[in-house]
Amino acid sequence: MVHTYKQGGYNIAVDVNSGAVHALDDAAYRVLELIPSKPVDDICPQSIIDKLKDVLDADSCKNAYRELFSLAKDGLLFADDDYIDVNRAFPENPPLKALCLHISHDCNLRCKYCFASTGDFGTGRKLMTPEIAKAAIDFVIARSQNRRNIEIDFFGGEPLMAMDSVKQAVEYAKEQGKIHNKNFRFTITTNGLALNQEYIDYINSEMSNVVLSLDGRPEVNDEMRKTVSGDGSYEYIVPKFKKLIDSRDKSLDYYVRGTFTRDNLDFTEDVLHIADLGFDQLSVEPVTAEEGCLYALQDCDKEKIFAEYEKLAEIMKERRDFNFFHFMVDLEQGPCVIKRIRGCGAGYEYAAVTPEGDVYPCHQFVGKEEYRMGNVCDDTFDKKISDEFMGYNICTRESCKKCWAKFYCSGGCSAANLNMNGNLEDSYELGCELERKRLECAIMLKVHDALNA
């Protein structure tokens, strides 16, 4: 399978199964578009020469064809996927290696678009006790098998509202990590409102990653991200985020993460605003919202969003003082093909734990009772649900099988499928289309870099 497209002044071919990416001149691009499957020899079919006779002379056709055949012969074009062993991606009992700890089902903001129903996921405002947090650490260690790296994301609600539990969990995980030879890595996702110097110092010393929520321009952020009293949050959080990042070791990760909705389809302005504030690791993502909701993205917004991603990519051809999460792609040594088949791992490699200790396939399933997999206190973990999630992947989902982007997005998001289509299996098409557009932008930027090095 080969995906061809034009963007940013480049003709690009992505060979799906090998992962190779090529930049083509107009002749090769035109010829490649007319080759339906792997060529058997280097002689250009007369039908292609005839079809292109008005735009390309026969010699150019033949030469381009010869080069394309050579790439195919070398496994860089029309490659087969027969080297992939799906069973390696999905072993009988996969290790659990990442937990999203809902350390707080309470929040000090009242964001309009919150998929957690302003923090409590519809389950009542509650903080996770240190005891439950420690039980979650034991739970993941016991199921991590030979995985050394274990990730814990302190999530909410707003995790800063449960800092005592966060600190005790970190302390306990480090102590247990030494005993069981595990390397714990911590992330905290915060709205920033309760940040103070003590918390900033703690986060910068203990968290290998911190995700700071900010939507962009003041008016955009404040329309959605409001305090309990209804004020905008921008003026409170931005100075705190700056203070945190200014004192953070450059070797540690962070993201300033925003959400765009139907109300700010010109989100490039928000990305640039955040970059202009001096933050250089950015992610601005499409809102998760139910259909019918006023700010939910609709199919008719697609072209505008596509154009916006293209606009941002054009700007980033010249401007590289920041990284945009969704335009980051490692063409040289990204994740292995096994990881790309596995995808996000929700429900088997990755799970979410509520303040009560209940386990769900991921943070977006919390509160959906039929997906409750067990509890960290009684050490239960429903293998049937785990197997069900493993069963949906790029090798089984019909829409993924034929998609050129399958090895980059790795099957998309089961929660989005459930929210938008009512089941885990059928891909949420608008989400897929946006993902493909982002990947085209990301790959175009790589081509741009390579050709202008």
Partner 1 sequence: MNHVKTINSAVLKESACKGGCGECQTSCQSACKTSCTVANQKCENKK
Euclidean distance between CA atoms 120 and 110, whole angstroms: 11
- In this chain, which of 160, 316, 441, 447 binds partner 1, going by CB under 8 A? 447
Which of 91, 231 has the CB closer to partner 1? 91
Structure tokens, 1: 């399978």
For 29-44, b/e burial (b = at least 16 CB within 10 A) is bbbbbebeeebeeeeb
Which uninterrupted H or E stretch holds 309? helix 302-318
- In this chain, which of 134, 257, 273, 436 binds partner 1, going by CB under 8 A? 257
Q: How many secondary structure helices (H) and strands (E) does the chain include?
A: 17, 15
Work out whether the CA dihedral 143, 130, 351, 85 comes out positive or negative: negative
Footprint of partner 1 on 280-309 (CB under 8 A): 283, 285-288
Smallest gap from Cβ 61 to partner 1, in A, equals 10
Euclidean distance between CA atoms 74 and 72, whole angstroms: 5
Footprint of partner 1 on 68-127 (CB under 8 A): 68, 70-71, 75-76, 79, 83-85, 88-89, 95, 97-98, 100, 115
| Part in contact with partner 1 (CB under 8 A); list of ranges 128-136, 183-191, 291-299, 306-314 | 183-191
Smallest gap from Cβ 273 to partner 1, in A, equals 18
- The number of residues that bind partner 1 (CB under 8 A) is 94
Footprint of partner 1 on 212-251 (CB under 8 A): none
Euclidean distance between CA atoms 258 and 287, whole angstroms: 9
Environment class of 402 (CB within 10 Å of its CB; exposed 0-12, middle 13-18, buried 19+) = exposed
Which uninterrupted H or E stretch holds 339? helix 337-342
DSSP state of 217: S
| Part in contact with partner 1 (CB under 8 A); list of ranges 24-32, 159-167, 296-304, 310-318 | 24-32
Place of tokens 């030469």: 63
Distance of CA 328 to the CA centre of its chain: 10
- In this chain, which of 171, 325, 425, 429 binds partner 1, going by CB under 8 A? 325
Which of 377, 404 has the CB closer to partner 1? 404
- In this chain, which of 364, 375, 386, 393 binds partner 1, going by CB under 8 A? 364
Q: What is the full DSSP assignment across 70-101?
A: HHHHTTSSS---TT--HHHHS-SSPPP-EEEE
Report if residue 333 touches partner 1, rule: CB under 8 A.
yes
Smallest gap from Cβ 419 to partner 1, in A, equals 10
Which of 90, 377 has the CB closer to partner 1? 90
Euclidean distance between CA atoms 391 and 414, whole angstroms: 11
Report if residue 19 touches partner 1, rule: CB under 8 A.
yes
Which of 196, 402 has the CB closer to partner 1? 402
Footprint of partner 1 on 139-168 (CB under 8 A): 147-149, 151, 153, 155
Q: Please tell me whether residue 381 adopts helix, strand or coil conformation.
A: coil
Site string for partner 1, 405-424 (x = CB under 8 A): --xxxxxxx--x--------
Smallest gap from Cβ 435 to partner 1, in A, equals 7
Which of 119, 431 has the CB closer to partner 1? 431
Which of 196, 278 has the CB closer to partner 1? 278
